[in-house]
Chains A and B, each alone.
Chain A
Amino acid sequence: MGTKRVYSICAMCTGRCPIVVDVNGNEVEHIWGNPYLLGGYHLCPRGAAGKALLNDTERPQTPLIRDGERGSGKWRSVSWDEALDYVADNLKNIIDKYGAKSVVLSDRGGAITEFEKTFLAAIGSPNYFNHHATCSNSIHNAHLSVAGLARNGITYDYKNCKYLVSFGRNLLESLVTGEAKSVIDMIENGGKLVQIDVRWNYTAAKADRFFLINPGTDYALALALIHVIIKDSLYDADFVKRWTVGFEELSNFVKLYTPEFAENETGIPAAEIVKLAHDVGNAKPSVIFHLGWMTAWYSNDFYLRRAICSLNALLGAYEAKGGLIINKGPEAVGKPLKSLLAQVPKPKDPRFDGCGTKYPHLSEQWGLAQELAHVLLTDEPYPVRAYIVFRHDPLASLPDPDYIRDAFSKLDLLVSIDINYSETGWFSDVILPEDTYLERTDHVIARNGPKPGYILRQAAVQRRFDTRPRWWIFKELANRLGVGQYFPYNSIEELIAWQLEGTGYKLEDFNEKGYIELVDKPIMWDRVDGLKFKTPSGKIEFISKKLEDVGIPSFIPYEKPIELKPGRFRLVTSKCALHTQGRTTLNNRLLNEYVSENHLYIHEDRAVELGIKEGDLLEVENEGEKQYIKAKLTKYIHPDVLFMLHGFGDDVPLRTRSFGKGVSDVRLQKGLVKVAIGGNCPFTECTVSVKKVK
């Protein structure tokens, strides 16, 4: 073991697992999971590979200003003063000319977003958004409409769960350490796992039942399950009566959606659907219908997610042991953290992306990343001229990067703040390199859950290169723009002390376990009187007043997915345990050694039809975009589906390990920079053709 142990939070993906770092001198010896929170030193392979990120010279090492055409890769290494002055001067000019609202900022989202949100609000722009349009906007907005809770407003009580049903959430492969371990614990305790997917994966391999569903028909299955649960009175009648509105309307709506109907659509036998409904009914309320994680699927995903939320509510799974526990924050025990953002007046301008105006039902919290390109190209509702992209890579994660890159050309200023050379960074005017998570301390964050508390990311070692922490970068920019008063601290320690004022805790209290727990026992609200759903009615809303008031129906009829043209396939993507977040881990020396490129999975029978053999080089095409990738044959994928891992096809030459390897799924997703009803990009509506390269 090292000479020093530092408790912190991982940032290899956005799972933010609690870690403990063994440090010897200024070197990281090893990174483990925090045993106090994870029940052992468990940590996934990405977390273990964090050490390789720290000393990697293939990340930006000094501030850089573009010295050639955008995207040419010609950079001038500059001092922090010069880089920050450059950004601030340009921002000032743009704000003078077009107003503060013409500045937009996006990040990866998550719990550590205080600095950038505060900065943006301080200069007077309402335009914060993040990556969720390409991830989980539809579940977020659906859960808000049904339960008034954010996507992450609940904690899954896997350990006590008796029946876990997942519509495509690949819990054991796109994994978060604590979650994967809990699901395995659940299976060992006798809990049942049901995986519904268009392809078999390692989660399906551990499932008691696996249903290979026809692509795009999940909504039909969810409606049929509701149908059986209501018809056979399998629901939790007390919970439904006390905590829901619109049960009668829901019952009427699902009358059409019989198991036989769903069998026809989904390919899952009606008897299996009935059995599943009865099994979850018998296990209630210790049931979890997982809400989903990466839910940028189809245009109707919002309604699939509403149906999944409704299934949980029908079975009384909210705030039940083994179900979905509503998160409590430190404010629930009267110990809220002080917030920088709360000190800033809220900007008054309407948002650039139409959240709350053009899209009145969509949450402003996460915004609509996919609207940026349209706004840039049309100047509607107003011109956007500056974009600060912070630990987010829209050109690698939004569909159709060529279209978006064209739109970005209209920007007067594009600034990338990141630890990596991202695809977007490569196209920027300025790159401001951030310290890695092993080199920086962030602000304290609230640990919301059954046992609220605080947790802290702490620097384990000193920085390797001329990089800076986020708290410093945004403070310096704010100073230069004359709004430094909203960053009233000179060091991160000072800020942490200020945040913790009135709580009775101080920085040193994190030394022992890396986190502070504010209660001894989980807080469980009373299921008769105490539940707090933040909807207008304070209940689960099968019929949502908020939606209906703006002319959006609470239910929509099931529609068949758009029919495939002959020779076309549906392109489906996902992650693996070694590269959950695509570009952030791809060039990592240790992880790249394991998985350096992606492959195209195709059903054996379809491969035979097309004369494709294992390992053949294939041409995948959509609307003129052609990509080349090696074939993998499998029996366990829907014949209409082609599958590849997301995030490959790196275009940044300085990332020598991942450069040019594999295929970028998003480049094939032509024409999908759309706003679906749930605010998601309908990624999975991409169809492609494939042929063997002669």
Chain B
Amino acid sequence: MGKYYIFQDQKRCIGCYACELHCKTKNNAPEGAKLCRIVPTGPQVVKGVPRMHFVFMPCFHCEKPWCVYACPTGAMIKRAKDGIVYVKEDLCVGCKNCITACPWGVPQWNSETGKVMKCDYCKDRIDQGLEPACVTGCTTGALKFISPSEASQIKREQFAKNISPLKK
């Protein structure tokens, strides 16, 4: 299992696309390339009020990433120390096999370089002790950069907070 996970707090997410824009500017992504995506679903009526959910889709940094298997040159790499899947650009020949292989549409074509680019959780930032740009810049603080085990803890906490008769 990878070391990191981006938890999206649906209660806080307002579907403003700041995550995508911070990602694009940080990674200098050209037009058309989206390294992470907000996918609106809904509206669905809950207790009489139409609700909206926004599914945040960065790379999931799969346990066994098909993009890595599909890459003929070894440009797509799963980093041993933390499981981050990234493109080593100088090895990428632009064959797009990874784009075809990924079931989530994560690898993106960079029309300016003729190579593939993808979400690497901003590993350069992580290596400096920072968080991915999408998480750091999120307008409402809806995204949290955590370990996978913390996710279930957050969910339990939120659940407890919602049902607790002692809450203020």
Q: A30, B140: Cβ atoms under 8 Å?
A: no
For A208, what are the chain B residues with a Cβ–Cβ distance below 8 Å? 49
Q: A181, B140: Cβ atoms under 8 Å?
A: yes
Asked if A589 meets B139 with Cβ closer than 8 Å, knowing A1-B130, A45-B16, the reply is no
Residue of B nearest to A184 (CB): B140
Which residues of A390-444 have CB atoms within 8 Å of chain B's CB atoms? none
Q: What's the tally of chain B residues with a CB closer than 8 Å to chain A?
A: 33
For B12, what are the chain A residues with a Cβ–Cβ distance below 8 Å? 184, 188
Q: A48, B25: Cβ atoms under 8 Å?
A: yes
Q: A190, B136: Cβ atoms under 8 Å?
A: no
Q: A49, B16: Cβ atoms under 8 Å?
A: no
Question: Is B31 part of the binding interface, using a Cβ–Cβ cutoff of 8 Å?
Answer: yes
For A33, what are the chain B residues with a Cβ–Cβ distance below 8 Å? 137
Q: How far is the CB of A172 from chain B (nearest CB, A)?
A: 4
What is the CA–CA distance of A190 and B138 in the complex, to the nearest angstrom? 22
For B31, what are the chain A residues with a Cβ–Cβ distance below 8 Å? 589, 593
What is the CA–CA distance of A208 and B48 in the complex, to the nearest angstrom? 10
Interface string of A627-649 (1 = CB under 8 A from B): 00000000110000000000000
Q: Give the most central of B32, B130, B133, B139: most A CB within 10 Å.
A: B139
Q: A49, B11: Cβ atoms under 8 Å?
A: no
- Residue of B50, B130, B137, B138 near A204 (CB, 8 A) is B50
What is the CA–CA distance of A81 and B139 in the complex, to the nearest angstrom? 43
- Residue of B15, B42, B139 near A42 (CB, 8 A) is B139
Tell me the dominant secondary structure on chain A's binding face. Answer: mixed
Q: A200, B43: Cβ atoms under 8 Å?
A: yes
Q: A44, B11: Cβ atoms under 8 Å?
A: no
Question: Is B120 part of the binding interface, using a Cβ–Cβ cutoff of 8 Å?
Answer: no
Question: Is B52 part of the binding interface, using a Cβ–Cβ cutoff of 8 Å?
Answer: yes
Question: Is B51 part of the binding interface, using a Cβ–Cβ cutoff of 8 Å?
Answer: yes
What is the CA–CA distance of A589 and B22 in the complex, to the nearest angstrom? 14
Q: A207, B141: Cβ atoms under 8 Å?
A: no
What is the CA–CA distance of A636 and B142 in the complex, to the nearest angstrom? 26
Asked if A41 meets B137 with Cβ closer than 8 Å, knowing A31-B25, A205-B50, the reply is yes
Q: B18, A43: Cβ atoms under 8 Å?
A: yes
Question: Is A5 part of the binding interface, using a Cβ–Cβ cutoff of 8 Å?
Answer: no
Asked if A177 meets B139 with Cβ closer than 8 Å, knowing A190-B168, A205-B43, the reply is yes
- Residue of A45, A206, A207 near B17 (CB, 8 A) is A45
For B50, what are the chain A residues with a Cβ–Cβ distance below 8 Å? 200, 204-205, 210, 635-636
Q: A175, B14: Cβ atoms under 8 Å?
A: yes
Interface string of A196-222 (1 = CB under 8 A from B): 000010101111111000000000000
Which residues of A41-71 have CB atoms within 8 Å of chain B's CB atoms? 41-45, 47-49, 51-52
What is the CA–CA distance of A206 and B50 in the complex, to the nearest angstrom? 9
- Residue of A202, A204, A591 near B15 (CB, 8 A) is A202
- Residue of A49, A204, A577 near B25 (CB, 8 A) is A49
Q: B25, A44: Cβ atoms under 8 Å?
A: no
Question: Is B88 part of the binding interface, using a Cβ–Cβ cutoff of 8 Å?
Answer: no
Q: A184, B21: Cβ atoms under 8 Å?
A: no
Question: Is B115 part of the binding interface, using a Cβ–Cβ cutoff of 8 Å?
Answer: no
Question: Is A187 part of the binding interface, using a Cβ–Cβ cutoff of 8 Å?
Answer: yes
- Residue of A1, A187, A209 near B11 (CB, 8 A) is A187
Interface string of B110-146 (1 = CB under 8 A from A): 0000000000000000001010010011111110000
What is the CA–CA distance of A48 and B134 in the complex, to the nearest angstrom? 10
Asked if A44 meets B16 with Cβ closer than 8 Å, knowing A188-B11, A590-B25, the reply is yes
Question: Is A161 part of the binding interface, using a Cβ–Cβ cutoff of 8 Å?
Answer: no
Question: Is B64 part of the binding interface, using a Cβ–Cβ cutoff of 8 Å?
Answer: no
Asked if A41 meets B136 with Cβ closer than 8 Å, knowing A175-B14, A202-B14, the reply is yes
What is the CA–CA distance of A48 and B14 in the complex, to the nearest angstrom? 16
- Residue of B16, B21, B49, B136 near A210 (CB, 8 A) is B49
- Residue of A1, A30, A190, A210 near B167 (CB, 8 A) is A190
- Residue of A43, A188, A204, A209 near B22 (CB, 8 A) is A43
For B26, what are the chain A residues with a Cβ–Cβ distance below 8 Å? 30
Q: B49, A44: Cβ atoms under 8 Å?
A: no
Question: Is B24 part of the binding interface, using a Cβ–Cβ cutoff of 8 Å?
Answer: yes
Interface string of B140-168 (1 = CB under 8 A from A): 11100000000000000000000000011
Residue of B nearest to A206 (CB): B14
Q: B14, A45: Cβ atoms under 8 Å?
A: no
For B16, what are the chain A residues with a Cβ–Cβ distance below 8 Å? 44-45, 172-173, 175, 180, 577-578
Q: A590, B21: Cβ atoms under 8 Å?
A: yes
What is the CA–CA distance of A172 and B11 in the complex, to the nearest angstrom? 12
For B168, what are the chain A residues with a Cβ–Cβ distance below 8 Å? 189-190
Asked if A209 meets B49 with Cβ closer than 8 Å, knowing A175-B16, A188-B12, A190-B168, the reply is yes
Q: Give the most central of B20, B25, B43: most A CB within 10 Å.
A: B25
Task: Supply 5 A–B pairs (Cβ within 8 Å), ascending by A.
Answer: A30-B25, A42-B137, A51-B25, A172-B16, A635-B50
Q: A172-B14, A181-B139, A204-B50 are in contact. List 9 more A-B contacts (CB 8 A).
A: A1-B130, A30-B25, A48-B24, A48-B25, A177-B139, A200-B43, A577-B14, A577-B17, A593-B31
Q: Identify the A interface with B (CB < 8 A).
A: 1, 30-33, 39-45, 47-49, 51-52, 172-173, 175, 177, 180-181, 184, 187-190, 200, 202, 204-210, 577-578, 589-591, 593-594, 635-636
**Which 10 residue pairs spanning A and B have beta carbons closest together?**
A577-B16, A48-B21, A45-B21, A205-B52, A184-B140, A172-B14, A45-B18, A41-B136, A45-B17, A48-B22
